[in-house]
Structure 1
Amino acid sequence: MAQDDAADSLFARLRAACEEDWCAFVEHDFVRRLGEGSLPEECFRHYLGQDYLFLIHFARAYALAVYKSETLEDMRQAASGMAAILDEMGLHVRYCQNWGLSKDEMQSLPEARATMAYTRFVLEKGMAGDLLDLHVALAPCIIGYGEIANRLKQDFGDKIASNPYGDWIETYAGEAYQDVARAQIEQLDRLFARRAGPGRMDSLVATFRTATRLETDFWEMGLSLAA
């Protein structure tokens, strides 16, 4: 998956330019404790509730991507992403019910500041910029979850079966989600080839770095139970 991608892909270059921030995200204590199975259940439930609200805004981001698209290929890619998120929300609701969270409860939750910060950043980048700006802002979440789950599966192996959070790890390490992450990497390259050049890298790196830091804040929110 992501860590094995060609060094000249846009994602690989963005990640290398933000290596310290990327490591803070994918190696966060929330992630480590999730893999160990030692994460307190109340932290995971808090994360799950906010992730539901998070997904609502990400579906809007993909709807915005349809509007920002200039080709049918890009429109189909964005529409497919929105459909996948809407389908994921149904799975998310069923998964959350196993943790004592109902759909009505999650819909009535106030957004945590970390949830609001990242989702509004993504939407603002999409509104003010072009389709490439929007996809770069989305990339840490889409690609990062795949990388994190792969790391956890490699690090904890057979222990995942007895881990209370094993289903979460298996979902994002599974081939279906890995395909989603790979498709996002490929889409970044297609957009960069059409819409950018070396002079644009600084602004793309800045967007990627901020989005990565906001993802780290989302883990911290889950760990600290922050509102």
Structure 2
Amino acid sequence: MDIFERLKQAAAADWAAYVEHDFVRQMGDGSLPEAAFRRYLVQDYLFLIQFARAYALATYKSRTLSDMRAAKAGLSAILDLEMDLHVRLCGRWGLSPQDLEAATEHQATVAYTRYVLDCGQAGDLLDLHVALSPCVIGYAEIGARLAADLGAALESHPYRDWIAEYAGEAYQEIASDARRHLDGLAARAMTEARFGELAAMFGKASRLEADFWQMGLEGAKTTN
């Protein structure tokens, strides 16, 4: 069992609240209101800007070239893959990259991104990657599960592009690399006495992810 699986088991309730959230369920069955998805995408674009800063911090915190290269890969995934998806999808509503950057960060966006940055600034590289992992690896698990559940129905699904992106080979490889890197960091820097602190950090990050989904749903309620 690798460190990520151990963290998931230790924070099982928080993890379930995140990956089984109503936002995810409704995205999977196609009932998610477009207003909820649009609000989420705009905020997630701002979210990714802050996560890019977190990977820049990971480079600074790295003590080996392999760790630096892992941080570079994470930064590239955000700037060259995920943000492009958001720009493409939001462009359907007439929103430009400039519009996205000018949007106001929601409290849920600030809460999670600044929590991750604080974990990295106050702790070491392992702390930072544990705080990042619910997002980086969790999105791959969510995307793969939704795609598997939908099967051929994904082709005509309203949220096909998002699901296919995170279920796709490119992102799955990114998540697998992140998971292996996290396990390697734990092998070097974690003691059993420290595991409880890391599990608490992972649990809080997962709760903040659930809050981020909820922000999208509540935006749809206020729009309708």
Same fold (TM over 0.5): yes
One-letter code aligned to 1:92: H
Give the conservation status (yes or no) of the 8 Å contact 1:45–1:101. no
Give the conservation status (yes or no) of the 8 Å contact 2:90–2:96. yes
TM-score normalised over the length of structure 2: 0.95
Is 1:208 aligned with 2:172? Answer: no
Partners of 1:63 and 1:54 lie apart in 2 by 14
Superposition deviation, residue 94 in structure 1:
2.1
One-letter code aligned to 2:121: M
Bigger Cα displacement from structure 2, 82-91 vs 107-116:
82-91
Unaligned runs of 5+ in 1: 1-7
Aligned to 2:119: 125
Aligned positions of 1:1-227 closer than 5 A: 8-88=1-81, 89-225=83-219
TM-score normalised over the length of structure 1: 0.94
Q: CA RMSD in A?
A: 1.3
Number of residue equivalences: 220
One-letter code aligned to 1:140: P
Partners of 1:174 and 1:10 lie apart in 2 by 24
Give the conservation status (yes or no) of the 8 Å contact 2:140–2:175. yes
The percentage of aligned residue pairs carrying the same residue is 59
Superposition deviation, residue 26 in structure 1:
0.7
Unaligned runs of 5+ in 2: none
Give the conservation status (yes or no) of the 8 Å contact 1:37–1:163. yes
One-letter code aligned to 2:199: V
Superposition deviation, residue 107 in structure 1:
1.2
One-letter code aligned to 1:126: G
Give the conservation status (yes or no) of the 8 Å contact 2:77–2:174. no
Superposition deviation, residue 189 in structure 1:
0.9
